[in-house]
Amino acid sequence: MHKRTLGNSTLEVSALGLGCMGMSFGYGPPGEKQAMIKVIRRAVERGVTLFDTAEVYGPFKNEQLVGEALAPFRPQVVIATKFGFRIVHGERQPGLDSRPEHIREVADASLKRLGIETIDLFYQHRVDPDVPIEDVAGAVKDLIRAGKVRHFGLSEAGVDTIRRAHAVQPVTAVQSEYSLWWREPEKELLPALEALGIGFVPYSPLGRGFLTGKIDETTTFDATDFRNSVPRFTPEARKANKALVDALAGIAARKDVTPAQLALAWLLAQKPWIVPIPGTTKLHRLGENLAAADIELNAQDLRDIGAATARISVQGDRYPEHLTRLVGR
């Protein structure tokens, strides 16, 4: 797989990464450990070098899984993890915590769980309104000086926050949701990142699975699946939003690719410093997703996609209200 550089940094990664959250958290029961290790290691074999996790996924279980799976390949992979939530006795608590002393504690704990000496990319998971971003950036800068972290990232941060953080410690990458059914980053975020020389790592590039075309209004989710609480995934919203998937499916069929591959190829075509991180727990889906890196979309393809999606208004918010309050700060 070809490589991309995140912004003006020295961090070079595969054009597509692997989001590992769903293996342990968020989309129903955790996957069987050895099966998930097999998926991660197959990704390495296919040329993936960027693997995304966080302490809160589990909590802790996903970092342990990723660390074990990637141990034989450490020199050739980039491991990204995140700090910023409150976790007590292995349970996530309400609120955020990006106090510098807590950031240092999380870094040390994540290093142990991952079994590594340096975190390649350390994101603030959500912006903490009670801690100045300059203090957060300064804490990560100290960790970089200490050799515990290589690169600083932000997740779901607003443009002003990104600029302020970047002035203290250069931000290598910003991670936010971006896909053909959530294009808000195009308004302010992407122009700001381009101006600042910061890479962009879209999560949920397949719309939490919806853009695969395998979900409709009759689909049922496990009781522990996060999508049960998402307004965009009510049966009514899914029925309305199927129009978007149907439009993309027609274009995908003409290109002899799947809707998922078309959605990922579209993201890759937006900017050379964008690195999506689709997640999966299935080997065949991994292969399908990674094949998107070899799909070339020409100018007419992009116009067709733009015209098809412009006619459709996606229904439902991407997060329930209590989580919407945590993004774009």
Please indicate whether residue 57 is annotated as part of the active site. yes
The whole-angstrom separation of Cα 300 and Cα 302 is: 5
Q: What is the pLDDT of residue 52?
A: 99
The answer to whether 85 and 96 have CB atoms below 8 angstroms apart is: yes
CATH no. for 3-324: 3.20.20.100
Q: What is the pLDDT of residue 248?
A: 96
pLDDT, tens digit, 9 for 90 and up, residues 182-230: 999 999 999 999 999 999 999 999 999 999 999 999 999 999 999 999 9
The answer to whether 227 and 221 have CB atoms below 8 angstroms apart is: yes
Position 167, amino acid: A
Position 271, amino acid: K
The answer to whether 48 and 16 have CB atoms below 8 angstroms apart is: yes
The whole-angstrom separation of Cα 281 and Cα 257 is: 21
How crowded is the C-beta side of 53, counted as CA atoms within 13 Å? 26
Q: Are strands 171-177 and 149-155 parallel, antiparallel or unpaired?
A: parallel
Q: What is the pLDDT of residue 194?
A: 98
- Report which of 201, 116, 133 is spatially closest to residue 168, judged by C-alpha positions: 133
Q: How confident is the model at residue 284 (pLDDT cuts 50, 70, 90)?
A: very high
pLDDT mean over 13-30: 98
The answer to whether 215 and 232 have CB atoms below 8 angstroms apart is: no
pLDDT, tens digit, 9 for 90 and up, residues 89-115: 999 999 999 999 999 999 999 999 999
Catalytic member of 57, 178, 203, 319 = 57
The whole-angstrom separation of Cα 65 and Cα 67 is: 5
The whole-angstrom separation of Cα 164 and Cα 159 is: 9
